[in-house]
Amino acid sequence: MSTLSDLVYAQGRSSAQDVEWLHRLAGDGQLLADLAFADIVLWVPTLDDSFVAVAHTRPSGAATLFYRDIVGDRVRPQWRTQVRDAFHTGRIVDSASPDWFEETPTRVRAVPVARSGGGRSETIAVLTRHTNLGEARTPSRQQITFNDCADDLFGMIASGDFPDLTAPTSPRRGAPRASDGLVRLDVDGVTTFASPNALSAFNRLGFGDELEGESLVEVVTQILPGKRQFDESLPVVLTGRAPWRADVEARGVTVSLRTIPLRDRGTRIGAIVLCRDVTEIRHQEQELITKDATIREIHHRVKNNLQTVASLLRIQARRSHSEEAREALTQAMRRVSAIAVVHDTLSEGLAQNVDFDDVFDRVLKLVAEVAAAPNTRAKTRSTGRFGTLPSEYATPLALALTELVTNAVEHGLAGQEGDVEIIAERTGETLEVRVRDTGSGLPEGQVGRGLGTQIVRTLIQGELGGTIDWHTIMGSGTEVTIEIPLRYIERARG
């Protein structure tokens, strides 16, 4: 399915500012649908004076009219005139009589979507509300209040006062919804209505009376512990003066608040305060933060331990009287150090993914320092980008490339001057890495049988599910080609 941006741009009549505005509005589509107890559809104009649906939200507390998604469809003939009138006149247009949709009586309201900016506003789209009249019943006080709030928001949408681009964006996880709890405030910040769920949330915080008729900021002041610091924006949120969010914490309970100021032709008339008990969510977030910190500390300690092991191997190599033993210990030290670089990178961030370009730059410096012999002058350089890799892939790849670059320096360029180039090419499906040197090269068809070659094969083919190939470059030098399928990487991320 195409995204909202793709569908809007495809019509050729909207700017980047229009798309941003529509994204903000669509982000509150669920709020509008739940307050109106109706389906909400967002339409943008086409070049042939029609309209295409770019977003659709179903209500969570009422039956939907559209069992099949209509995003991407053109406006139906029975709604076209109403939608076009709302777009061209800039006024809300209600259906004159019930509209029948698939044998269900409905009422349709077309709301022009005005984008304000530069001291003026222009209509960029139309929002339609489709109310199912087949389930009509005597509305409760909560439903009447919700519908009144929806009407206020529709009026703000038509005048360009909603959405408010000054409102901070935040993760949707844990964001309060209308069904979680709704408080309606007047212009002075006094509660005129509180849904049962909102009342329950404040009761859990420690307020045992009715909210209606009370100043919300005074209620919270009574609840908050005297010595605890609180968010400085909290009074502004509680009085309904700014479209911000804040948390209230008391008695081990955390309630998240979101305020939406209500305006009539630019004049503030009150506010909607959405509230949700997010105690369990905040507890889980704190646990994740603690676990992330623990994992980073583990990586840090592993890195320190590996560096200690590498230092011990270096000391042992220096004291060894056998050239063969010294070489083996030096190679082991280099391999341990390469793994330590990955853990050092992991210890610096929250994610278990690493920027492998940064890791490999550090590994390359390490290899160049350790592998170069007195009579060998090797210049190493890396081109292309590896991108971000999960830790379980970064370690074997770093170790394999360490072996290949070391072999190129110690054997391919032994006793001479030359270059070693590492070329990385990443596409949507594969990561291809070529290690190329200008040394003496290998006899065609012959590959080394040492421990380093065995390690590389095991890492690339066994752990990364990739392929590796050695061949001699025409003229001189050796090129090793590694190809790793990215589907394994994406599976590891999932």
What CATH architecture does domain 4-159 belong to? 2-Layer Sandwich (3.30)
Q: Please state the φ and ψ torsions of residue 422, each to the nearest 5 degrees.
A: -115, 120
Task: Enumerate the CATH 3.30.450.280 domain ranges in the chain, comma separated.
Answer: 4-159
98 vs 226 pLDDT, higher one: 98
pLDDT band at 172 (very low <50, low <70, confident <90, very high): low
CB within 8 A of 279, min separation 6: which ones?
Answer: 252, 253, 254
Q: What is the pLDDT of residue 125?
A: 96
The Cα 426–Cα 484 span in angstroms is 10
Contact by Cβ (8 Å): 392, 407? no
Q: What is the pLDDT of residue 22?
A: 94
Q: What is the pLDDT of residue 475?
A: 60
Q: In the predicted model, what is the mean pLDDT of residues 116-120?
A: 74
Q: What is the pLDDT of residue 28?
A: 93
pLDDT band at 373 (very low <50, low <70, confident <90, very high): low
Instruction: Provide the Cα torsion 155, 156, 157, 158; round to 10°.
Output: 50
Q: In the predicted model, what is the mean pLDDT of residues 433-460?
A: 74
pLDDT of residue 363 exceeding 90, the answer is: no
What does pLDDT average to over the chain?
84
Beta partners for residue 55, in sequence order? 42
Task: Count how many Cα atoms sit within 13 Å of the Cα of residue 107 in the half-sphere of its side chain.
Answer: 12
Q: In the predicted model, what is the mean pLDDT of residues 200-225?
A: 90
Residue 486 one-letter amino acid: L
Q: Please state the φ and ψ torsions of residue 214, each to the nearest 5 degrees.
A: -100, 145
- pTM for this one? 0.65
**pLDDT tens sequence across 282-320:** 888 777 777 777 777 777 787 788 788 878 887 888 888
Contact by Cβ (8 Å): 374, 395? no
Residue 293 one-letter amino acid: A
Q: What is the pLDDT of residue 262?
A: 95
Q: In the predicted model, what is the mean pLDDT of residues 415-436?
A: 84
pLDDT band at 156 (very low <50, low <70, confident <90, very high): very high
Residue 190 one-letter amino acid: V
**pLDDT tens sequence across 76-89:** 999 999 999 999 99
The Cα 398–Cα 453 span in angstroms is 14
Q: Please state the φ and ψ torsions of residue 388, each to the nearest 5 degrees.
A: -90, 135
Task: Enumerate the CATH 3.30.450.20 domain ranges in the chain, comma separated.
Answer: 178-277
Q: In the predicted model, what is the mean pLDDT of residues 193-211?
A: 93
How many Cβ atoms sit within 10 Å of the Cβ of residue 485? 15
Q: Of the given ranges (168-182, 264-278, 337-351), which has the lowest mean pLDDT?
A: 337-351
128: left (phi over 0), alpha (psi -120 to 50) or beta: beta
pLDDT band at 402 (very low <50, low <70, confident <90, very high): confident
Q: How many helices (H) and strands (E) does the chain have?
A: 14, 18
Q: In the predicted model, what is the mean pLDDT of residues 410-439?
A: 81
476 vs 36 pLDDT, higher one: 36
% residues pLDDT > 70 (the chain): 88
pLDDT of residue 454 exceeding 60, the answer is: yes
Q: Identify the CATH homologous superfamily for domain 379-388+397-494.
A: Histidine kinase-like ATPase, C-terminal domain (3.30.565.10)
Contact by Cβ (8 Å): 352, 342? no
Q: What is the pLDDT of residue 414?
A: 66
Cis bond upstream, residue 163 (ω within 30): yes
CATH classification code of 178-277: 3.30.450.20
pLDDT of residue 203 exceeding 90, the answer is: yes
How far from each other are the two terminal CA atoms of the chain, in whole angstroms?
Answer: 21
pLDDT of residue 99 exceeding 80, the answer is: no
Task: Enumerate the CATH 3.30.565.10 domain ranges in the chain, comma separated.
Answer: 379-388+397-494
